[in-house]
Amino acid sequence: MIDLQLHTTDSDGTWPWRKVADACVELKLTAFAITDHDTMCRRTEVLEYAKKYNVQAIPGIELSTAENGHTVHLLGYFLNGPLSKLEGRLDFLRQGRLDRNKLIITRLRSIGIDVTEEEVLAIAGNKVVGRPHIARLLLSKGVVSNMQDAFDKYLIPGGKAYFPKEELPLREGIDLLHEAGAVTSVAHPGLLRCTALELETSLREWRSWGLDGVEGIYPSYSPEQVGFFSRMQAKYGFLITGGSDFHGENKPHIKIGTGTGRLNVPDALLEPLYQRRDEVAAAANRN
């Protein structure tokens, strides 16, 4: 069993990366990937961890992109090429998050909720700051009863303090990750708000742009959705990836490896992923 989507305190999770990695080893996962949002700050440490403990620990990232009015989260695995261009665009995304946070804080204060940017930064621990940190602050102050309540009332589209964040065009994200030697996969495409026909049309186009894979195994998917992505694999040549989307206490119902209890991402997905890794890395290092 493997888990190819895990988040830590380096973005919007509540467990430090080492605690997540140690838990994966304790659970005897065959392989795991840490994929924090818009940061690859632990890439070297994850590789050193993999070598020291002789485990398949994969450095990764979840990149904020958009296409046709939809937010599309793009996973990148391995990052075995030149990283400077990608890092420059990550700086842009992180600054966009900081600008949005300021707007959210200002809006919350305008409706009588006493929160400050400094308090949010303290909760985030100086890492990539996002809405979950603001939600946790609202929870700590008793403004909301739980994390989901914070999002529903204030932080999702239609919420009292919602503002969109900066995102890269999906096609640019695919190219950036390939240039950085990363294998690409769209995270939880089954959560996109569209029909199956619309999703297939989008996936076919994204495949023509070079998208390598889709996250076809995910905790909230129905058997029908898993079957749909299996058909997309056969029809368009996608890799299939899968992961729990673990965030620690920010998603307390999601556990590493098993998600809500039934997730099982098979080891058989690894070999095609590694084969594509070698191809992408070779191309990235030739350019």
Per-residue burial over 175-202, b = 16 or more CB atoms within 10 Å of its CB, e = otherwise: bbbbbbbbbbbbbbbbebeeeeeebbeb
Q: Which residues make Cβ contacts (< 8 Å) with residue 109, sequence separation at least 6? A: 115
SS3 content of the chain, % helix, strand, coil (to 5): 50, 15, 35
Q: Token pair for residue 155? A: 């932080």
Distance CA 143, CA 186 (A): 34
pLDDT per residue over 49-99, tens digit each? 999 999 999 999 999 999 988 899 999 999 999 999 999 999 999 888 889
Distance CA 32, CA 19 (A): 13
The half-sphere exposure of 164 on its side-chain side, counting CA atoms within 13 A, is 9
Tell me, rounded to whole angstroms, the distance of Cα 19 from its chain centroid: 18
DSSP state of 260: T
**What confidence score (pLDDT) does residue 286 get?**
81
Distance CA 189, CA 203 (A): 9
**Choice between 201 and 120, residue whose per-residue pLDDT is larger:** 201
Distance CA 187, CA 207 (A): 14
| pLDDT at residue 45 greater than cutoff 80 | yes
**What confidence score (pLDDT) does residue 270 get?**
97
| pLDDT at residue 110 greater than cutoff 90 | yes
| pLDDT at residue 19 greater than cutoff 70 | yes
* Percent above pLDDT 70 for the chain: 99
Q: Which residues make Cβ contacts (< 8 Å) with residue 216, sequence separation at least 6? A: 226, 229, 230, 232, 233, 238, 240, 241, 242
Per-residue burial over 131-168, b = 16 or more CB atoms within 10 Å of its CB, e = otherwise: bbbbbbbbeeeebbeebeebbebbbeeebebbbebbbb
**What confidence score (pLDDT) does residue 125 get?**
73
| pLDDT at residue 109 greater than cutoff 70 | yes
> For all residues of the chain together, what is the average pLDDT?
94
**What confidence score (pLDDT) does residue 142 get?**
94
What mean pLDDT do residues 237-265 have? Answer: 96
The half-sphere exposure of 134 on its side-chain side, counting CA atoms within 13 A, is 30
**What confidence score (pLDDT) does residue 122 get?**
86
Task: Give the residues across from 31 on adjacent strands.
Answer: 2, 56
- CA 175-219-28 angle, to 5 degrees, is 90
* pTM over cut 0.85: yes
Q: What residue segments make up the domains of the chain, in order of their start?
A: 2-82+170-196+210-286, 90-155
Amino acid at residue number 275: Q
| pLDDT at residue 128 greater than cutoff 80 | no
Distance CA 74, CA 213 (A): 10
**What confidence score (pLDDT) does residue 285 get?**
83
**What confidence score (pLDDT) does residue 70 get?**
87
**What confidence score (pLDDT) does residue 181 get?**
97
User: How does residue 126 score in pLDDT terms, banded at 50, 70 and 90?
Assistant: low
Domain 90-155 has CATH 1.10.150: yes
Q: Are 33 and 3 in contact (CB under 8 A)?
A: yes
pLDDT per residue over 133-191, tens digit each? 899 899 999 999 998 899 999 998 899 999 988 899 999 999 999 999 999 999 999 99
Class of domain 2-82+170-196+210-286: alpha beta
